[in-house]
């Protein structure tokens, strides 16, 4: 029986390319390809794929958020991120969310089937530049021990300079509710319970 693949990719051209690539290999079957992950849970239950190929940047909801949801009902699903992003933030957020592997889109034509085989055998396939980044990050002291995102660092810096929630919302062109959500996550990551504690920790540990 061929290995079944379910893809989530918002780029029409790349979805077509994936379909064409998989169609050439009788050992694989692309059961469906969707342009967003808004119904990912339902679609995974429907198709029961062996492997999920997941884009990161999609309309309405990111692939990282979808991976996080998938892990709430399936801890073992093989999920390979397909993306143009090779920066620290996206890579480590995807891995932390539960991604099984991380393949840059420029390597799809040469590495896709090899990566699927590897992930189904229990490995964690990664494009070479991604693997190097992960190794480098492990070999040097963490510059971001609390795994704050870029936006969380910006908001923490704004808090440290005495800005109100309203001022922060205006500065970053986001809603006050979004500011509150970011600050709640900052508190959780820093293991603090108030703005004073967060700012004190940020200054003492040179996080800002």
The domain 3-139 having CATH identifier 3.40.50.2300: the answer here is yes
Residue range 150-204, CATH number: 1.10.10.10
pLDDT digits (tens, 9 = 90+) for 99-112: 999 999 988 999 99
Per-residue b or e along 100-117, where b marks 16 or more CB atoms closer than 10 Å to that residue's CB: bbbbbbebbeebbbebbe
The larger pLDDT score, comparing residue 86 to residue 4, is at 4
Average pLDDT, the chain: 89
Contact 145, 125 (CB under 8 A): no
Sheet holding 101-104, edge to edge: 28-34, 3-8, 51-54, 78-83, 101-104
Per-residue b or e along 141-150, where b marks 16 or more CB atoms closer than 10 Å to that residue's CB: eeebebebbe
pLDDT score, position 127 = 83
pTM equals: 0.66
Domain parsing of the chain, residue ranges: 3-139, 150-204
């Amino acid at each position: 029986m061929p290995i079944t693949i379910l893809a989530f990719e918002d780029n029409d051209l790349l979805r077509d390319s994936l379909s064409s690539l998989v169609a050439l290999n009788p050992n694989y079957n692309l059961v469906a390809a969707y342009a967003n992950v808004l119904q990912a849970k339902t679609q995974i239950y429907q198709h029961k794929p062996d492997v999920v190929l997941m884009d990161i940047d999609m309309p309405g909801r990111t692939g990282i958020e979808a991976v996080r949801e998938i892990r709430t009902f399936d801890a073992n699903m093989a999920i390979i991120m397909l993306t143009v992003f090779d920066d620290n933030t996206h890579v480590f957020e995807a891995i932390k969310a539960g991604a099984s592997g991380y393949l840059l889109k420029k390597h799809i034509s040469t590495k896709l089937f090899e990566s699927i085989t590897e992930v189904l055998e229990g490995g964690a396939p990664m494009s070479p530049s991604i693997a190097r980044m992960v190794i480098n990050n492990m070999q040097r002291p963490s510059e971001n021990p609390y795994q704050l995102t870029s936006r969380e660092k910006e908001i923490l810096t704004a808090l440290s300079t005495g800005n109100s929630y309203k001022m922060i919302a205006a500065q970053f062109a986001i809603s006050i509710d979004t500011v509150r959500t970011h600050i709640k996550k900052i508190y959780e990551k820093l293991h603090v319970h108030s703005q004073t504690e967060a700012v004190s920790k940020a200054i003492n540990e040179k996080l800002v």
